[in-house]
Structure 1
Amino acid sequence: MDARERIFKYQGLGNDFVVLDRRRTGQDIDAHTSRWLCDRRLGVGADGVLSLLPSSRGMARMVVHNADGSIAEMCGNGLRCAVKYLVDHSGERPEWLDVETGAGVLRCVPGYVASGVVEVDISMGPARLVAPNLPSGVTGTPFVGAAVPGHADLVAGTAVSMGNPHLVLLDQPLSDAPLKGPILEVHPSFPDRTNVEFVRVESDGLTVVVWERGCGLTQACGTGACASAVAAVLARRLPADAWLRVTLPGGDLGIQVPADLSDIRLRGPVAFVFEGVVALPTGQ
């Protein structure tokens, strides 16, 4: 008999997640289960699954399972959903809480109205230009405003790690995302594959379409918004230390990039969708 489990659905700017609270058992799910939960025809339907596990360093440890069964180091929209779930089920209104992620322990500040959490301000940690999951992991040199090998048709790209890898293409047409995103996701310069951001720079912010590693086109990507803002600040197209608007298909996020890239901040909305009980598959 299939195992039954209570699930919770949350979304941030249309980037939707199934939340599984496994802090009591400490047992994560496998790739087959995450693929089934994310399947919009045969399962529940989501961009990813957030497995909440016990942590000695925060209120929970969040593991992000992509729709294809792979695991992402970090997800900004997912973290806001996890924070809302944790607060919703705590019976309290904490001023802040720490959540352990693949990108480290991140401090999160919920924003409340009478009904509960409606937005979350997240300390996303540093943006790294030299990291093992970027081209710089081999060269030791930041990949900033550089030609993408094998793709003379692209504008110069910037590689940024927010825990997970990103290739940001400033001024690349947004319409190129569904065509070039899947090709660039598996570019050999990125050993763990990469998220790809197609960015239009505007006077007061950015408009971004993200091809998300393991998911494809999504309504929003928090780490992608951060990486895009970092690239724009590095290119001196937008100011450091200011709250910048980043518009994604699902809506707007606020991103703040310090000049030293030491702690990127993300602010955005989050909402509960539904809860239910499902019979999780027990075999492949």
Structure 2
Amino acid sequence: MLNTKNNDPLKPHFYKYQGAGNDFVLIDNRRQTFEYKDNNLVYQLCDRRFGVGADGLMLLQNHSEYDFEMLYFNADGKLGSMCGNGGRCIVAFAKHLGIIDTQTNFLAVDGPHYAKITAKGDWVDLQMIDVHQISRDGEAYVLNTGSPHYVEQVTELKEMDVFKKGKKIRNNTTYKKEGINVNFVEDKGDHLFVRTFERGVEDETFACGTGVTAVALAMAKKNEKTGNQVTEIEVLGGNLRVGFNYDGNDFTKVFLCGPAELVFEGNVKF
């Protein structure tokens, strides 16, 4: 069904979702009423003091070959790369709108994605892109899981100043121009604890879906864990799970799994 609550682009009807503390503004844009080329409008909506407040904004749009298309914008108002937790939240949003039932194939900036969602709509397993290359930057790992990521294993992560250290790496001479998401990981034995500084948000977020995916793959490579793997991950906003197959060279059947919750909805006037 189409959302007909408000077709005024300056009074958009929005939905606020969160996935493990990663929060988003979502708009049903199948009628093409929201002017997404206005970066300032997106920035205002994501502003935590003068807008709704979010790590990013997503538009759900029609597509002739898929159930829907996902357009993702960073909190700075600029069109972003793939967002894993955002992808899970937009699947829950599509179910809420009655577009899908328990499975979907949709299009994002990094290509098609398959996902399945529980009947209650509160847990989403999202298939991510295959990964064929992981490079090194000193002791860190660098890879692209739909967005570029830097992964560094550390100790005493709870006490670390992630903002200061992440910002420094994101803005060094290697990564400043294009930007990179910086992940720090501590191995807790039965799970990994991850904190992430995200480009576009330019701050630490409570979770990063493509980031925890990158961490799980990088740690599997580091520890030479091949075959079908499931990695439990703790983030500031909750818990996520990453499943994949690793044959020693390529990562396939990569799934990011976790909660997705509708927090509230409303209208905002600009």
Alignment partner, residue 126 of structure 1: 130
Task: Report the Cα offset of residue 80 of structure 1.
Answer: 1.1
Alignment partner, residue 255 of structure 2: 265
* TM-score scaled by length of structure 2: 0.88
* TM-score scaled by length of structure 1: 0.84
Answer yes or no: is the 8 Å Cα contact 2:128–2:146 preserved in 1: no
Q: Quick one: structure 1 residues 26 and 276, their matched pair in 2 at CA, closer, same or farther if it must change by over 3 Å?
A: closer
Quote the Cα distance in structure 2 between the aligned partners of 1:2 and 1:89. 19
Matches for 1:66-145 after TM superposition, within 5 Å = 66-90=74-98, 94-112=101-119, 116-129=120-133, 142-144=134-136
Q: What code does the residue aligned with 1:90 have?
A: G
Answer yes or no: is the 8 Å Cα contact 2:150–2:182 preserved in 1: yes
> Is 2:43 aligned against 1:35?
yes
Alignment partner, residue 228 of structure 1: 215
**CA deviation map 1:132-175 (0-9, x unaligned):** xxxxxxxxxx523x41xxxxxxxx11001012100000126521
Quote the Cα distance in structure 1 between the aligned partners of 2:9 and 2:31. 20
> Is 2:248 aligned against 1:248?
no
Q: What code does the residue aligned with 1:20 have?
A: I
> Is 2:189 aligned against 1:203?
yes
Larger displacement relative to structure 2 (170-179 or 28-37): 170-179
Quote the Cα distance in structure 1 between the aligned partners of 2:235 and 2:90. 20
Alignment partner, residue 134 of structure 1: none
Which of structure 1's runs of 4+ aligned residues deviate more than 2 A?
171-174, 186-191, 237-240
Quote the Cα distance in structure 2 between the aligned partners of 1:66 and 1:218. 12
Query: In structure 2, the residue corresponding to 1:72 is in which secondary structure?
Result: coil
Aligned partner (choices 136, 146, 158) of residue 141 of structure 2: 158
**CA deviation map 1:210-266 (0-9, x unaligned):** 001111111111110000001100001656522110110011101013112123111
Quote the Cα distance in structure 2 between the aligned partners of 1:188 and 1:105. 33
Cα RMSD (Å): 2.0
> Is 2:170 aligned against 1:185?
yes
Answer yes or no: is the 8 Å Cα contact 1:26–1:53 preserved in 2: no
Alignment partner, residue 152 of structure 1: none
Quote the Cα distance in structure 2 between the aligned partners of 1:74 and 1:167. 15
Quote the Cα distance in structure 1 between the aligned partners of 2:30 and 2:150. 34
Q: What code does the residue aligned with 2:112 have?
A: V
Task: Report the Cα offset of residue 20 of structure 1.
Answer: 1.0
Q: What code does the residue aligned with 1:123 have?
A: Q
Task: Report the Cα offset of residue 72 of structure 1.
Answer: 2.0
**Percent same amino acid among aligned pairs?**
32
Q: What code does the residue aligned with 2:126 have?
A: I
Alignment partner, residue 13 of structure 2: 6
Q: Which runs of 5+ in 1 are unaligned?
A: 130-141, 148-155
Task: Report the Cα offset of residue 82 of structure 1.
Answer: 0.5
Q: What code does the residue aligned with 1:76 have?
A: G
Q: What code does the residue aligned with 1:246 have?
A: I
Aligned residue pairs total 255
Aligned partner (choices 42, 56, 62) of residue 48 of structure 1: 56
Alignment partner, residue 15 of structure 1: 22
Q: Quick one: structure 1 residues 88 and 143, their matched pair in 2 at CA, closer, same or farther if it must change by over 3 Å?
A: same
Larger displacement relative to structure 2 (201-210 or 220-229): 201-210
Alignment partner, residue 137 of structure 1: none
Answer yes or no: is the 8 Å Cα contact 2:9–2:35 preserved in 1: no
Query: In structure 1, the residue corresponding to 2:197 is in which secondary structure?
Result: strand
Answer yes or no: is the 8 Å Cα contact 1:256–1:264 preserved in 2: yes
